[in-house]
Amino acid sequence: MRNSINLTIENLSLPELAAQMVVVRASGYLFDHQIRYPEWEPPTNKLRYWLENLGVGGVILVGGSAAELAVRSQLLQSWAKFPLLLAADIEEGVGQRFAGATWFPPPMAIGAIAGKSFSQAEALATAMGEITATEAIAIGLNWILAPVVDVNNNPDNPVINVRAFGETPDLVSALATAFIRGTQQYPVLTTAKHFPGHGDTAVDSHLQLPSLPHSAERLAEIELPPFQAAISAGVDAVMSAHLLIPEWDDKWPATLSHQILTGKLRQELGFEGLIVTDALVMGAIAGEYGATEAAVLAVEAGADILLMPQDPEATIKVVCDAVTQGRISRSRLEISVKRIWQAKTQVGLFSPPSSSPSVLSILPSSLDVSATILRNSLLVGGALPLQVENPQNGEFLRNLIIVDDILGCEFLGNHTPAIAIPKQLGYKLQIIDDRTETHNQQSLSAPSNHPSQDRFSSTLLQIFIRGNCFRGSAGLTEAATDLFNKLLTTGKLSAIIIYGSPYILEKFLPTLPPSIPYIFSYGQMPTAQAIALETLFNQDLRKASIRKVC
């Protein structure tokens, strides 16, 4: 790594300046054969070339365990021409992306607690920020791409949903700033996203360009206050949203709009920190404006950091070409790189390395905080606890789980409570996802690997559904709705557990008989499953189920 302490920005070459504005995506795993998304995550040789030769400014990491990332982050820094910003989308704690660390329920769970005790919710948001910062530093991260400060006031929002703290600007402002305060005693950057507000959309910007057709008065009342609060609280970066706001700019989406990034965010709101684009590979930008031209437009608009361009090397070249052609000035790049280096200095990248805490030393108390949020945000009703019946005449109890994509469910496995606990109680498993729902519709009376002539006496229905990127919808799948209605009609529904979106529960409740118990959890991780099922059956079953599986 070059000694950047004595190097001035004025001495950087034009390609080095442009490269410092680029943050590339990479796998958190240690070896190339573990890469899960090869279209976005380069192999070792290419990644090392980007860091060592081109001098890109940072890396956003996904995948792997916390222990692997602690090694991976040191390796990346050792390759880098200049010290790296190492970032991750860890809105729900480090464990959301890197196995073994603390995985919190989504922020909306804390917002739900605020309805009962605002002081407790604020304290939990602060604790979440502190724990996320501590664990991030322990594994080598220095940039948290959180908190989400969008106001999710559209139940059909497919991309924000439970990632938001709530549905009102006051609540989002208070809890987001509490999260930011929790991080601020640690050398780590925070990010308010997605400016100027992605909460009231029903289109996933990973796929298409949404539009926010509100008046200036409405934007000032709902969308902007959480960003103003985050800026006042000292947030280090603001991430732009890939959405069109005709009231402010009827031509360019926010990420590419000078009127929005410079006019609104810089000049009107007075933000002096880093402006970072949302990922430039997303369909709303790459599909509409091209893989490289979008990067130039974003720099012209006022962005400091170009996140996840499709082709980093080509992106650096087109930005340099825009300077040599007189479209962008060199000083414009220098201003952004000065901000980037100020941020790097703030997190100690130009100072001798200091020792970091171990995740192992942090984990026990951190997991307690996560469990507290899960328990205190749980919603329950109906005739609890559920009494497990003894089936007669060759019938069986069915544990029916519905998910979007079983192959992408890192929170499900034979060892996880949603499967292991019902199995301990005599339930037989059936799982349905988008791949299986079509050809399984005719055989839903029998579970997987069970003779078709057998019949179930009752069904425990567990649904895992929330807004997810690239899903395109935050609503129920057709299979989930049909199954729910069929089970009600036949009287075979014994209980329902929903993990994820409270809007799904709201759709079910009007037709759910008061005698049928229900549990709702904002979390989907194993801890959330254990708490929900132990509540349903009023038993401490987790340890017993783990022993049985092992």
Amino acid at 157: N
Q: Which two tokens stand for residue 223?
A: 């969308």
Q: Angle at which helices 312-324 and 293-301 pack, to 10 degrees?
A: 60
Q: What 3 state SS string does 228-241 have?
A: HHHHHCCCCEEEEC
Instruction: Give me the catalytic one of 194, 198, 206, 214.
Output: 206
CB-based burial, 42-52: b 16+ in 10 Å, e otherwise: beeeebbebbe
Q: What DSSP element (H or E) covers 295? A: helix 293-301
CA distance 309 to 66: 26
Round to whole Å and give the CA distance between 179 and 131: 10
Question: Is there a contact between 47 and 15 (Cβ–Cβ < 8 Å)?
Answer: no
Q: Is there a catalytic annotation at residue 214?
A: no
Q: Would you put residue 101 in left (φ > 0), alpha (ψ -120 to 50) or beta?
A: beta
Active-site residue, 33 included: no
Beta-strand pair 518-521/306-307: unpaired
Q: Give residues with Cβ within 8 angstroms of 218, minimum separation 6.
A: none
Instruction: Give dist(CA 143, CA 190) in Å, integer.
Output: 6
Identify the active-site residue in 150, 278, 404, 433.
Answer: 278
Could you please report the per-residue DSSP string of 43-69?
Answer: -HHHHHHIIIII--SEEEEESSBHHHH
Cα–Cα dist 532/453, whole Å: 32
Give the tokens for residue 168: 């009102």
Active site residues: 206, 278
